[in-house]
A and B are shown apart, each in its own frame.
Chain A
Amino acid sequence: MIRRRYSDVEIIDAIRKGEETSGMIEYLYNKHLPKIVQYIRKNNGTREQAFDIFQDALLSLCIEIKKNRYKQEYELGGFLFQICKNKWINEAKKLQKMLVSDQTPEITYEQTALDIVLSAEKQSMVQQALSQIGEKCQQLLIYSTFHRLSMKEICAKMGFSTENAAKTQNYKCKQKLLEVIKRNPVLYETFSKS
């Protein structure tokens, strides 16, 4: 079994474009997970907890890259390790609090971007909103807005004949979604706050 090696730049570019392959993520797992498992086990954690933390860290990394907050100077391994470390410290604090008082676990630690983005409530709202515009629109908007793909790339991926067709389709989908948001004040409220 020959494993390809990937450079940090390669991986980051792939994530930015939403084209990360399973090979890349496996490579990240193989390369960076052992260190993190070692760290977490040293600090009273289990192997399974380390796996969860690492997965969260990968997601955080993706978000950072998507939001253009990841700087090219960062060293990928060090960045991941730092995220994991912070996450584990938070986790440990949470666990300690839970041990001390079971009734109302005060959330004193800083909520990470992930926690804000992915509360279950929001998740269901998003799902509901997106289900109203159709699957194809959904996919198209995710490509254009989340992955920031160019119209040319979207053409290739979605099978549009011309760039213009993709552009108009994208505009239409966007308008649909805007309509949905307008009609849903609860959705508007929750997302305008953040």
Chain B
Amino acid sequence: MNQEDIQQYEKIERYLRNELSAEELEAFQTELLKDTSLQENVELHKICEEILFCAGVAELQKKLEHQKELYIQKQAQKKLWLGGALIFVGTGIIGSIAYWQSIQPNKLSKDLIQEKAISEYLYNATDTQMTSPQSLTTKREISSSQNYNKNSASISQQNFSKDLFAEPLSTESRPISEPSITSLAESQSTPVLVKPDIPKTENQSTVAQEELTSLREISSSENPLYEPLKSQYREFIFAPLNGEYWEFPVQQEGAQLQIFDKYGVLVYSTTVTGYSYQDRWDGRRTNGEELPLGVYQYRFVLLDRSEQIGSITIVK
């Protein structure tokens, strides 16, 4: 390669890059107008630059494309992270809520168990108190009926049966149950009415006593002192705040209902009407005040003066 070519090449390069000084540029342009080979050379150089520019742009484009993909990937990763974090936080919150809710009922139930234990204890205490006057009244009845026996030969069917039944019972101070009385009365009624002789009645009475002892044995083996009460003792639970009602388990019209709180204070009392929309309790006092959560004792006094008792628990 000769020196001239290199010089020309450098000049063309500088011309294309606008690096020539004003004088040089003028000289070059005048030369360019004259020399066609130079024109061609410049044109070639231009094309050369153009091609290289294209190549450079292509390279750049590749680079940018790659960068874009990277960016999209990063965005997706960010989203993943965000999603993961959200899930994590969400489960944390839900978990803590669930934990709280699992704790609170436990507390409540513990309280309730304690309250129940107390109320049961109270109930037992009152029950023993209540039985003693009952036994007293039966004793009185017995004494009066015994007097009656001495005074009058003709004994009324009911008194007779009651007397017979009450005598052995009174020694053990057991409350009288109605069905046994009536059954006894039925079995006894005919012979007594037909032949009211004294020796016969004595016979009858021994027979009756035998029957009674057998009855008593059955009743004592099957129903010891508090057993009937405890089996009748029913427990209910309801949430009046949720609009629930406690439907009375007793539908007998005219039965009396009393509800006591844990201190034994009467908080509600009503008479059973026999209509289901009235025979229910909404967890309020008789005057309409809301009662706190807790265990309450209820007592139904039926028409035959027997009682049904149990507890009613108000929950949230």
Contact = CB atoms under 8 A, between A and B. Distances in A.
B44 A26 contact: no
23 contacts: A20-B63, A26-B67, A26-B71, A33-B71, A51-B68, A55-B64, A59-B64, A66-B56, A117-B57, A118-B57, A145-B49, A145-B52, A145-B53, A145-B56, A146-B56, A171-B1, A171-B9, A174-B48, A181-B51, A187-B47, A187-B51, A191-B47, A192-B43
A84 B57 CA distance: 18
Interface in A20-41: 20, 22, 25-26, 29, 33
Contact of A146 (B46, B53, B64): B53
Contact of B58 (A26, A118, A129): A118
Given A66-B56, A123-B54, A182 B44 contact: yes
B55 A142 contact: yes
B235 interface: no
Contacts, number: 98
Contacts of A66: 53, 56-57
B67 A22 contact: yes
B72 interface: yes
B6 interface: yes
A178 B44 contact: yes
B54 A178 contact: no
The 5 closest A-B pairs by CB, nearest first: A146-B56, A191-B47, A145-B52, A126-B54, A25-B67
Interface of B: 1, 6, 9, 17, 43-61, 63-65, 67-68, 70-72, 74
A130 B72 contact: no
Nearest to A18: B56
Contacts of B53: 66, 117, 145-146
Contacts of A146: 52-53, 55-56
Contacts of B72: 51
Nearest to A129: B51
A141 B47 contact: no
Contact of A177 (B6, B48, B57): B48
Contacts of B64: 25, 55, 58-59, 62
A90 B17 CA distance: 32
Given A117-B57, A145-B48, 12 more contacts: A18-B56, A22-B67, A29-B67, A55-B68, A59-B61, A117-B53, A147-B56, A174-B9, A175-B1, A177-B48, A178-B45, A192-B43
Nearest to A142: B56
A113 B180 CA distance: 115
A169 interface: no
A174 B51 CA distance: 12
Chain A interface size range: 35 or more
Interface string A85-129: 000000000000000000000000000001001100011001101
Nearest to B10: A171
Given A26-B71, A29-B67, A29-B71, A130 B61 contact: no
A194 interface: yes
Given A59-B57, A142-B56, A126 B51 contact: yes
Interface centre among B45, B58, B74 (most CB of A within 10 A): B58
B71 A177 contact: no
B152 to A, nearest CB: 110
A177 B51 contact: yes
Interface centre among B6, B55, B65 (most CB of A within 10 A): B55
A51 B76 CA distance: 14
Contacts of B58: 118, 123, 126-127
Contacts of A178: 44-45, 48
B43 to A, nearest CB: 6
A67 to B, nearest CB: 8
